[in-house]
Amino acid sequence: MPESTGDRLSVLWLNQLDPGHPWAGGAERHIAEVGRRLVAQGHSLTIVSEAFEGLPAEETRGGIRTLRPVRRGLLHAWVLSNAARLVRDLRIDVVLGDLSKIVPWGRHSIGGAPLVSVVRHFSGHTIFAEVPFPAPPALWAVERLTPIFLRGSAIVTESHATATTLARLGAGNARITLIPPGVDSSRFSPDPEQRSPTPLIIYIGRLKRYKRLDLAVRAFASIRVCHPDAVFLIGGSGSDYERLHRTVARLGLEGSVQFLGTLPVDEVVRLYRRAWVHVQPSGAEGWGLTALESMACGTPVVAFNSGSLPESVGPRCADLLAEDANVGALAAALTRGLARPEVHDPTEAMALAQYARQFSWDATADRYGQLLAEAVRSWVRPLPETISLPVPSRWSRTSSSSVRSPSEGVERVTEHVEPA
């Protein structure tokens, strides 16, 4: 279990999507894993995210409260207009502003509470492939300016790659804390008995253009000459499905590439255990949770040697990193992956799993708790801010859920946190 940081905090987590959203991905998984552990430590957590048809405007699951006030595209404006009332009525001590969709929520504070910005990755030129024109140039410019805007701010990120990009783009004296994500080793673990008897490649994740799954499909087509019985199973859903389906048809791979749609976690675990290799061709990942989960199940990961994925796969799969965006190099890495000893040797599979188990969600949540307590401890509260729009009274906290001030003795979190 995660350790308590001392006094309880009331935390507000801002993100466009929440863990219950149909489009939720790795960032939302991270919020859910850290969030439920913060609640277990005695803190309270409220997530504010976009509304979506079929989802309630307010719900509480596992002790985490989720508010969905406005539809897609309006959340930033709504939060900034309602921030002071939201912080006051929910008695918020500290805010986590998740930049998983590029635009910052603020700099040092929001609504009169200290703000810690969560910067997962930089999309770079992948924005132009993912977002319809004319938005990409504006979003690209915002992303390039974000590190400058966040100078002097408290930032938490998952990888050295993102921290380096922040510094290179001008974050300057921002207080950057590295906290890598974790893996639930009680659920994601090897089972050699489930390994497929024939070559099986998998992909688990959303079907988005920036994931560059079309490159993996093309690489798979080229290795079929040497592995005619190989199968490629794709688990996930998203806006790039139709394009990917056309690519599969054009290459004549309908019988060997299968789209499985969104899968329950137990089925994902089964696929990790069955696979000979898991391919992750994305061009923009904050860390790559599925890579870590795959290795925790004893299955090696093939990826491009770019962004944060080399950190995620670590030294055990370093030889399976391919030159970025090179289909031939990716095909060669897949061929090497299918020949890895983990496929047939349970001892090797367990060694790979042991590497992944260095990353613990309990340790991640403990470090978040320390970071948030430090943010509140060092906060100098400004004069009260004005508000322009009301927050519905049903979203106010009752007086019985008051929150004590944080401890003065919390040890300062270091800038670079190593895996547990």
Lowest-confidence pick of 46-55, 258-267, 333-342, 390-399:
390-399
The pLDDT of residue 381 is 64
Compute the C-alpha angle 306/301/346, nearest 5°: 155
User: Between 3.10.100.10, 3.40.640.10, 2.60.120.260, 3.40.50.2000, what CATH number should domain 192-356 receive?
Assistant: 3.40.50.2000
Give the mean model confidence (pLDDT) for residues 343-363.
96
Beta strand 109-110 with 200-204 is unpaired
- Quote the tokens at residue 420: 């547990």
Give the mean model confidence (pLDDT) for residues 244-250.
98
DSSP 202-222: EEES---GGGTHHHHHHHHHH
289: helix, coil or strand?
A: helix
Distance CA 313, CA 301 (A): 7
68: helix, coil or strand?
A: coil
Is residue 395 pLDDT above 90, yes or no?
A: no
379: helix, coil or strand?
A: coil
Instruction: Give the start-to-end residue ranges of the domains of the chain.
Output: 10-182+360-401, 192-356
Output the average pLDDT for the chain.
Answer: 88
Q: Tell me: the pLDDT tens digits for 193-231?
A: 999 999 999 999 999 999 999 999 999 999 999 999 999
Q: Are 183 and 361 in contact (CB under 8 A)?
A: yes
Lowest-confidence pick of 57-71, 128-142, 284-298, 332-346:
128-142
- Quote the tokens at residue 151: 């100078």
What band does 262 get if pLDDT is binned at 50, 70 and 90?
A: very high
Q: Are 156 and 336 in contact (CB under 8 A)?
A: no
Give the mean model confidence (pLDDT) for residues 86-114.
90
Q: Are 159 and 287 in contact (CB under 8 A)?
A: yes
Phi, psi of 381 (to 5 degrees): -70, 130
What band does 100 get if pLDDT is binned at 50, 70 and 90?
A: low
- Quote the tokens at residue 68: 């969905």
Is residue 386 pLDDT above 60, yes or no?
A: no
Q: Are 206 and 238 in contact (CB under 8 A)?
A: yes
How many residues in the chain? Answer: 420
Write b or e for each residue in 128-162: b if 16 or more Cβ atoms lie within 10 A of its Cβ, otherwise e.
bebbeeeebeebbeebeebbeebeebbbbbbbebb
The pLDDT of residue 14 is 97
The pLDDT of residue 396 is 47
DSSP 245-283: HHHHHHTT-TTTEEEEES--HHHHHHHHHH-SEEEE--S
Is residue 252 pLDDT above 80, yes or no?
A: yes
Residue tagged 């939720």 (tokens): 24
- Quote the tokens at residue 382: 């400004």
Give the mean model confidence (pLDDT) for residues 232-256.
96
- Give the contacts of 215 (CB within 8 A, at least 6 positions apart): 281, 325, 327, 330
Q: Tell me: the pLDDT tens digits for 297-328?
A: 999 999 999 889 999 999 999 999 999 889 99
- Cis preceding linkage at 132, omega within 30: no
Q: Are 19 and 383 in contact (CB under 8 A)?
A: no
CATH class of the structural domain 10-182+360-401: alpha beta
Q: Are 341 and 348 in contact (CB under 8 A)?
A: yes
What band does 103 get if pLDDT is binned at 50, 70 and 90?
A: confident
- Selection from 172, 161, 186 nearest residue 286 by Cα: 161
Angle between the 289-296 and 346-356 helix axes, to the nearest 10 degrees? 140
Give the mean model confidence (pLDDT) for residues 136-141.
88
What are the angstrom distances between the C-alpha of 199 and each of 34, 81, 218, 225, 320?
35, 54, 17, 13, 16
Give the mean model confidence (pLDDT) for residues 103-119.
93
Q: Are 188 and 272 in contact (CB under 8 A)?
A: yes
Is residue 158 pLDDT above 70, yes or no?
A: yes
The pLDDT of residue 417 is 43
**Spacing of C-alpha 130 from chain mean position:** 17
- Selection from 415, 403, 324, 333 nearest residue 374 by Cα: 415
Beta bridge partners of 44: 10
Distance CA 101, CA 15 (A): 8
Distance CA 200, CA 338 (A): 8
pTM of the model: 0.85
The pLDDT of residue 409 is 28
Residue tagged 């390994």 (tokens): 195
The pLDDT of residue 126 is 81
